[in-house]
């Protein structure tokens, strides 16, 4: 998505969320060979909704991670936090040449194309091109936030080479695992400790993304079955939201002609297995996780960083 400069050597793939820092390193040219990985939980209040609140403490913790994981001077890719990313389908003048699209977007962003922030960094995927129509999917984030993460990484002696958005990373992982068919109407549901991100894909292209928030509780390892049910009660609202999203996809995006046919679930929620089982019972479409042996290579909570590591070499619009 957002490129800084090209990479040729080993790259660390870094995911920084409100509650955690994770990294994964893959063997070059072998997507299923995970060489190293690491995790460091963050105290609450350092990052909130993807925005760094306590820069000094975060830099200190990151320095410790870089030292512990031996990443000094390493090239890194990172994820733009979901809460600051806007994904929007836009119709453009159909006479624009492919090499003119970026320039057109530079001119129109903030004037005819409105975003909830100024000075965006952006990328796009062409969704449809005919003689009558040109439509794209625009990914945008506030430049200030993306560059503050890039600067933070540079401050701790890392070399940021690219930033990406989480739905593309997760999709890339399922695609590489050969779980995706081109004609799937796919809903990817990323379930974390305090947020759920849903994104729809069709013909290997993202269609939309939506962030759902829910009330999270502090989980304990020795939680009883009854307490687990209590902890997962807020998910009742999440399931209803997912149903609304599926309905929106069917009736607003596909005009009632097509609907979501499969759902993939991933994320770092400690009770993801329970949630997955509930979703299998609740939804009529198949609800799947990363399959078999591939799914067991590394804990699910590292899947996002793994998908980020697959950034080079798959060419359907990322």
Q: Work out the average pLDDT over 187-197.
A: 91
> Does position 239 have pLDDT exceeding 80, yes or no?
yes
pLDDT of residue 4: 55
> Does position 52 have pLDDT exceeding 80, yes or no?
yes
Q: Over the stretch 31-50, which tens digit does the pLDDT of each residue have? A: 788 899 999 999 999 999 89
Side-by-side strand order, sheet with 134-142: 86-92, 134-142, 120-129
pLDDT of residue 317: 38
Q: Which two tokens stand for residue 310?
A: 């697959």
> Does position 6 have pLDDT exceeding 70, yes or no?
no
Least confident among 26-30, 103-107, 225-229, 289-293: 225-229
Arithmetic mean of pLDDT over the chain: 88
Instruction: Work out the pLDDT band at 314, boundaries 50, 70, 90.
Output: very low
Q: Which comes out higher in pLDDT, residue 168 or 5?
A: 168
Report all structural domains of the chain as residue ranges with CATH numbers, in order of start.
84-141 (3.30.1490.300), 180-289 (3.30.420.40)
pLDDT of residue 5: 52
pLDDT of residue 222: 54
Strands of the chain (E only): list them. Answer: 2-3, 11-16, 20-27, 30-41, 47-48, 51-52, 75-79, 86-92, 120-129, 134-142, 159-164, 185-191, 195-202, 205-213, 262-266, 287-288
Least confident among 137-141, 232-236, 266-270: 232-236
Instruction: Work out the pLDDT band at 244, boundaries 50, 70, 90.
Output: very high
pLDDT of residue 263: 97
Instruction: Work out the pLDDT band at 214, boundaries 50, 70, 90.
Output: low
């Amino acid at each position: 998505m957002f490129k800084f400069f090209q990479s040729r050597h080993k790259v660390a793939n870094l995911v920084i969320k409100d509650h955690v820092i994770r990294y994964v390193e893959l063997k070059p040219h072998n997507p299923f060979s995970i060489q190293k990985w690491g995790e460091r939980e963050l105290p609450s209040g350092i990052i909130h909704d993807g925005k760094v609140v306590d820069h000094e403490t975060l830099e200190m913790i990151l320095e410790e991670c870089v030292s512990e994981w031996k990443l000094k001077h390493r090239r890194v890719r990172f994820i733009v936090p979901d809460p600051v990313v806007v994904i929007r389908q836009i119709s453009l003048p159909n006479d624009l040449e492919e090499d003119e699209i970026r320039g057109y977007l530079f001119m129109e962003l903030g004037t005819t194309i409105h975003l909830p922030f100024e000075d965006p960094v952006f990328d796009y995927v062409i969704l449809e091109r005919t003689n009558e129509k040109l439509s794209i999917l625009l990914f945008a984030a506030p430049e200030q936030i993306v560059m503050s993460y890039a600067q933070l990484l540079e401050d701790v002696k890392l070399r940021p080479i690219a930033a990406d958005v989480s739905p593309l990373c997760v999709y890339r992982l399922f695609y590489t695992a050969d779980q995706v068919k081109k004609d799937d109407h796919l809903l990817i549901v990323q379930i974390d400790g305090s947020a759920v991100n849903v994104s729809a894909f069709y013909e290997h292209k993202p269609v939309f993304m939506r962030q759902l928030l829910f009330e999270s509780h502090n989980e304990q390892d020795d939680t009883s079955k009854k307490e687990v049910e209590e902890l997962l009660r807020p998910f009742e609202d999440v399931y209803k939201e997912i149903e609304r999203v599926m309905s929106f996809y069917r009736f607003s995006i596909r005009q009632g002609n097509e609907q979501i046919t499969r759902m993939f679930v991933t994320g770092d929620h400690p009770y993801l297995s329970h949630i997955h089982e509930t979703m299998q019972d609740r939804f009529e479409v198949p609800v799947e996780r990363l399959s078999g042996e591939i799914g067991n290579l590394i804990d699910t909570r590292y899947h996002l960083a793994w998908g980020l590591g697959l950034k080079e070499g798959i060419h359907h619009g990322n």
